[in-house]
Amino acid sequence: MRSLKILGFISFILFLSGAGCPLQTRSQMEEKKVIQDQMKVLQTGRNEQQGKIQDVSNEVLTLNGRLETVEAKITSLDRGMQAHNRQGDQQIGEVSNRVKTLEEASLGLNQRMDGIIEELKSLRMAIDSAKKNEKPSASSKGPERGPFNTGEDEYAKGNWGEAILSYMKYREQNPTGKRYAEATFKIGYAFQQMGKAAQAKSFYQEVVNRFPSTPHAKKAQSQLQKIDK
């Protein structure tokens, strides 16, 4: 009887043990599921982090490529600037040499000019000395030659004002001189060259009226026609 009680107690214990096993398995399964879910979340986060890291790596590679391109351009520009500076230095040197050559030539020219000026001074002094010792010749005293010849010299040089004064002086000194008509015509021509047409016409007309049969009258008439056109 006692053995039966012990056996029954053991059976009851075994029953309780058998009933507890399924409950413990479900708890473990739920815990395992929670752990799996957490691992999935962690794995997803890890994948996202790896993706971001890869994107950053790609951007770094792109920036490195751009940086290399910029460095290459800077190197090229630096070489170009160095070449340009060398060329500029060479040109500056050439200009400096030219300036130096011109300065030397200018100095030599100034020295030559100084020598010429000194020679002219000496020549002027010699001429002045010769004039002081020169005696006036009898032929130079004629009133007809002096002013007219002076007028001829100024006329040939194109010094119209000086020529007019000399010819006028000749006319005053020689109112019946044989070159009066010529002097009058040349006074008119000198005025014409100076752009004073009215004065020129007055002297041309005088030649035509007073000396109609002379060659100077024909020239004066021709000039009058040109002025009146």
N-to-C CA span, the chain:
176
Q: Using the predicted structure, report yes or no on whether residue 28 has a pLDDT greater than 60.
A: yes
What is the model's pLDDT at position 202?
95
Burial class from Cβ neighbours inside 10 Å (0-12, 13-18, 19+) for residue 167 reads buried
In the chain, how many domains are there? 2
Asked if residue 40 and residue 125 are part of one domain, the reply reads yes
Structure token pair of residue 68: 């290399």
What is the model's pLDDT at position 211?
96
How far is residue 85's CA from residue 72's CA, in Å, rounded to a whole number? 20
Answer yes or no: is 151 within a domain.
yes
Domain of 84 in residue numbering reads as 36-129
How far is residue 215's CA from residue 131's CA, in Å, rounded to a whole number? 39
Answer yes or no: is 8 within a domain.
no
| pTM for this prediction | 0.39
Answer yes or no: is 14 within a domain.
no
Asked if residue 116 and residue 170 are part of one domain, the reply reads no
Residue 100: pLDDT band (50, 70, 90) is confident
Structure token pair of residue 106: 């200018």
Q: Measured in whole angstroms, how far is the alpha carbon of residue 37 from the centre of its chain?
A: 80
Q: What angle do CA 83, 84, 89 make, to 5 degrees?
A: 100
b/e burial code for range 63-82 (CB count within 10 A of at least 16 → b): eeeeeeeeeeeeeeeeeeee
129, 163, 179 — which closes off a domain?
A: 129
